Amino acid sequence: MKNRKGHGLISHIVLATILAFLIISFSVVFTLNFRPLYYFDIDYLNIPESSGLSEDIIKANYDALIDYNSIFHSGRLEFPSLIMSESGEIHFIEVKNIFVAVQIIFVVTLVLGTIGIIYKRRQKDFLYLKYTAILTLVIPAVLGTVIGLNWEKSFVILHQIFFNNDYWIFDAATDPVITILPDTFFFHSAVMILFIALLGSALCYFIFRRYKRHPFS
């Protein structure tokens, strides 16, 4: 009996971990592709004024960057109207590798999570949702606290963790794309990622409570 309970607990934790990664990776993928956030920031952050470029040019070059980061895109990054240095191109290759990895994690966890949910549903056992809610709450809460205390320092540290060079430090003269990507936009993106993850956590807990009260409906 103890072994069965232990096995059940482990399966809950494993599935919860898979679903937590699913929710977080979905948050990143969704935010990356949610262009209205950037389009809003174009006006909100006065990017045309700070960059000296028109809104149409800004959108076209941003769209090219987002298209490049898609797992379905092949070939080099080419901005419609902005020059790019060799170090800048290397940096964007590294950025794409990270985003492609996140997209792969999303697909893999979606498949594994779906299988796990079907299996647990047949068992009428939904405790994994509670663990998923906790895991998905803790990670964004910790990151959100760190980011909220000092965004600029957090931004630098994140780059130092993910990149083993300083190519992410752009010179506007050789990589003018930096003028259309203000730090505040990345902050807004981080907030959106955390918000979606927390929303996923709340949804998991709501579903858990619902099935706990009405397990067979």
Cα dihedral 79, 82, 87, 88 in deg (nearest 10): -60
Show Cβ contacts of residue 209 under 8 Å, excluding neighbours closer than 6 positions.
none
**pLDDT grade, residue 150 (50/70/90)?**
confident
195 vs 3, higher pLDDT: 195
156 vs 90, higher pLDDT: 90
The residue type at 76:
R
Cβ neighbours around 132 below 10 Å, total: 29
Establish how many alpha carbons lie within 13 A of residue 105's alpha carbon, considering only the half-sphere containing its beta carbon: 19
The residue type at 75:
G
8 vs 74, higher pLDDT: 74
**pLDDT grade, residue 215 (50/70/90)?**
low
pLDDT score of 114? 97
pTM for this entry: 0.88
User: What are the sequence ranges of the domains in the chain?
Assistant: 2-43+54-69+78-213
Phi and psi, residue 170, nearest 5°: -85, 150
The percentage of residues in the chain with a pLDDT greater than 70, rounded to a whole number, is 95
Exposed / middle / buried, residue 126 (Cβ in 10 Å: 0-12, 13-18, 19+): buried
Alpha carbon distance 76, 83 (integer Å): 13
The percentage of residues in the chain with a pLDDT greater than 90, rounded to a whole number, is 73
pLDDT at 71 over 90: yes
159 vs 54, higher pLDDT: 54
**Mean pLDDT lowest among 12-26, 119-133, 154-168, 176-190:** 154-168
- List the Cα angle 179/183/185 in 5-degree steps: 95
Cβ neighbours around 113 below 10 Å, total: 21
Cβ neighbours around 102 below 10 Å, total: 19
